[in-house]
Amino acid sequence: MGLDEKKKEAPKIEPATKIPNSKRINIVEEYEKRSKEKSKLNLIVIGHVDSGKSTLMGHFLYDLGQVNERTMRKFERESQKIGKGSFAFAWVLDETDEERDRGITMDIATNYFETNNRQITLLDAPGHRDFIPNMISGTAQADAAILVAPAMGFESGFEAGGQTKEHAVLARSLGVQQLIVAVNKLDLVDWSQERFEEIRFKLNAYLLQIGFKKNNISYVPVSGLTGENLVKKSQLPELTSWYHGPTLMEEIDRFEPPT
């Protein structure tokens, strides 16, 4: 082939590689998918020792289906064997032998559940003053808190030496701004509206004083032992005659996620 003929040859151009349709990203669909994903939130449960935190949240998780029937029946049998049958729901969160024998939470217990709009990491803090460092480490991770205040024995936790005030102060100082006050054990005072309002009045004044904002505090009447007003709306006439607000689950779902 001559030199002139070589010059006349056109260069070969490779065809462009086609991108399969399956790999193309639909931007609108991807945006909608991500916008529907549930926001994540860390939730700490705090309060004075014996306020019923572990029983409350153990029963809450059971009602959500996070604990199967077989496991729950096992906890009931084993707790009854050692004369602590009322602690069965607490054992969902208190997992060590020492915690179960002593009937108190000693370290942070972690669980997970979902509401309609949130993915929740649940942190159950110890209430005994000996384990305040563990409570602090858990609260430092929290975006919101549930403060458990018992209708029976509220004063012992709220007055000097009690952990109700100390836990509230620590939570606020560590950046927690959103708070649910779960007024627990109301079944022991016959679902008294007067007792509920008394506790709300005393606590609200203190919580506002230490820096919580009124719009970021809510109060829910509950019973950790009976499971009343935790996940399902209560049907008890003693409660529904005066309380028409949300369940604990509904209040948790209203927490604003971290930005």
Q: What is the CATH number of the domain that holds 205?
A: 3.40.50.300
**Beta-carbon count within 10 A of 56 CB:** 29
Q: Residue 215 above 90 pLDDT? A: yes
Q: Residue 257 above 50 pLDDT? A: yes
Structurally, the chain folds into a number of domains equal to: 1
Asked if residue 40 lies in contact with residue 118, where contact means CB atoms within 8 angstroms, the answer is yes
Residue 20 included in any domain: no
For residue 119, list its beta bridge partners: 40, 114
Residue 9 included in any domain: no
Cβ-based neighbours of 64, under 8 Å, separated by 6 or more? 113, 231, 249
Strands 217-221 and 178-184: parallel
CA 75 to each of CA 78, 89, 94, 150, 231: distance values in angstroms, whole numbers, following the listed order: 5, 8, 11, 23, 21
What percentage of the chain carries pLDDT values higher than 70?
Answer: 74
Using CA atoms, how far apart are residues 173 and 193, in angstroms rounded to an integer? 31
> What's residue 10's pLDDT?
55
Q: Residue 123 above 50 pLDDT? A: yes
Q: Phi then psi for 71, rounded to 5 degrees?
A: -65, -40
Residue 123 included in any domain: yes
Residue 114 included in any domain: yes
Residue 128 included in any domain: yes
Residue 204 included in any domain: yes
> What's residue 131's pLDDT?
52
Q: What is the mean pLDDT of the chain?
A: 82
The range of the structural domain enclosing residue 163 comes to 41-61+105-254
With cut-offs at 50, 70 and 90, classify the pLDDT of residue 22: very low
Decide: residue 188, CB within 10 A, 0-12 exposed, 13-18 middle, 19+ buried.
middle
Using CA atoms, how far apart are residues 7 and 232, in angstroms rounded to an integer? 85
pTM above 0.75, yes or no: yes
Higher pLDDT, 106 or 252: 252
Higher pLDDT, 125 or 131: 125
pLDDT tens digits along 166-178? 889 999 999 999 9
> What's residue 8's pLDDT?
54
Residue 52 included in any domain: yes
pLDDT tens digits along 24-66? 556 656 545 554 688 999 999 998 878 888 889 889 998 998 8
> What's residue 193's pLDDT?
98
- Return the closest-CA partner of residue 100 out of 155, 58, 46: 58
CA 6 to each of CA 13, 15, 75: distance values in angstroms, whole numbers, following the listed order: 17, 23, 89
What percentage of the chain carries pLDDT values higher than 90?
Answer: 46
- Return the closest-CA partner of residue 199 out of 152, 249, 143, 246: 152
Strand order in the sheet with 118-124: 109-114, 118-124, 39-46, 144-150, 178-184, 217-221
Asked if residue 199 lies in contact with residue 159, where contact means CB atoms within 8 angstroms, the answer is no
pLDDT tens digits along 182-210? 999 999 999 999 999 999 999 999 999 99
